Structure 1
């Protein structure tokens, strides 16, 4: 089962990266995941972002540094806990995410179409349940 899930994830990731334009200077899949999380407008701590983006903390630091350099996100000290730094989506990052969201959605629709509506819905349900049970 693990190999099959890895195989599917690999192909979905490659299609998504192509839609993002990762090879030609667009965001990487991991950067996209960060932008997606931050799109809620709330600041998020690095530990939460690392979990969402599914990368180790040192890797996330490099990802966020690149996003800061590209003016897509910014860091700010948490007013409630001055020891903590929160990351926010910048206006430029919001614009980029808005432009790319339809491209990513198109990839997801194409993959769902390959399965058919009923099978795609069933797969999403099964994967959601599995993700919840695994933690």
Structure 2
């Protein structure tokens, strides 16, 4: 049997991710945020004080993407850079007061997109899908 792009894991994963990203960005538009900006805000809300490199690694962003997203969030007054207390050469990232206020409004938007994507899947199917996707990610790292 020949290769069929429509049945390729990469093609299907990309289409699903693109559809979910577009749906999320539609919901984020009133907040003037993109999906990568939302991801940075959420990650900093979970674990403030990360370095630029640790933030990028945790989100799967390359260095230029991380730098650009953080810079735009700084310009919007949502993220701040601060010197590390023990090593002033190290820069850490934190949500600003405005960023904390805004990020608290966003989780329901992402949850709505996840619910839409998982519509019609049983709880077991959703758990299996998550497990399989994590395995695919691990396979591609190794």
Q: Same fold (TM over 0.5)?
A: yes
* DSSP-derived class of the 2:106 partner: helix
The unaligned stretches of length 5 or more in structure 1 are none
DSSP 3-state at the match of 2:81:
strand
1:35 and 2:41 correspond: yes
Looking at structure 1, the residues matched to 118 and 18 of structure 2 have their Cα atoms a distance apart, in angstroms, of 16
Q: Which residue pairs with 2:66 in the alignment?
A: 60
Structure 2 residues not aligned, in runs of 5+: 1-8
When the two structures are aligned, how many residues end up with a matched partner?
Answer: 133
Counterpart of 1:15 in structure 2 is: 23
Larger radius of gyration: 2
Q: TM-score, normalised by structure 2?
A: 0.83
**CA RMSD, aligned part only?**
1.7
- Equivalent in 123, 128, 134 of residue 122 of structure 1: 128
Structure 1 length as normaliser, TM-score? 0.87
Report the Cα distance in structure 1 between the residues aligned to 2:100 and 2:31, rounded to whole angstroms: 17
2:11 alignment partner in structure 1 = 3
Distance 1:82 1:133 in 2: 38
